A and B are shown apart, each in its own frame.
Chain A
Amino acid sequence: MPANLRTLAGVGREVELRVDGNVTQRSVLDALEAEYPMLRGTVRDSVTKKRRPLLRFYACEEDHSEDSLDDPLPAEVASGREPYLIVGAIAGG
């Protein structure tokens, strides 16, 4: 997760989440927000539930940002061998 969100949630670079049922982007993000309610609205808009435009979602070196939130994530992510990445757009000059 981006540094500002790690600070907000009081966590390190990675968090481990238990996801029941199908492991999709939606179920992972739901689990993240349930475990860390202070992150609600910061990754997805509170009202529309859409991805914030300056964040992107990656898994297994693939960009899943434009995929359906209900598509299954790769088995490596579901099993916990690979991370699901929430990446902030780089800001700089």
Chain B
Amino acid sequence: MTPEMQNLYQELILEHNHYPRNYGRVENPTHEAEGYNPLCGDQVHLTLRVEEERIADIRFEGKSCAICRAATSVMTTVVKGAAIAEADRYFEAFHQLLTQEEAPLVSSLPAAVQEKLRIFSTVRLFPIRVKCATLPWHTLRVALHEPEKKIATTE
């Protein structure tokens, strides 16, 4: 076991991979989208119920690697109950955290959300795996804002 691997696969990531939250399908969803990474075959299906511009419920299904599955699980926990505008802010912050050396946006988020998103900060050091962690967030964006596209990819 190398220290790099322990950094990438934080205990919390392994825990979410093992015990994913909000797994399954929302009944009578108002929004849904499929996320697919053609490079590695990661696949995520999101179903949501949006009420008055707020994500009342969100669930996911799919086959994916540990990073993607944990990122999806964590995402559902932070956006459930959040206003759509808030979820958009989380997306921007998470994306910046994984792709930029300086990531100030995340610091402006509620402490509990920050803490959950930051467990993925070391993924930035594994460029090929960044798409695994951002796939659910791209999928959420498609579900909320571009439902006619139906399928999100990280390409």
Do the two chains bind? Answer: no
A residues lining the B interface (CB < 8 Å): none
B residues lining the A interface (CB < 8 Å): none
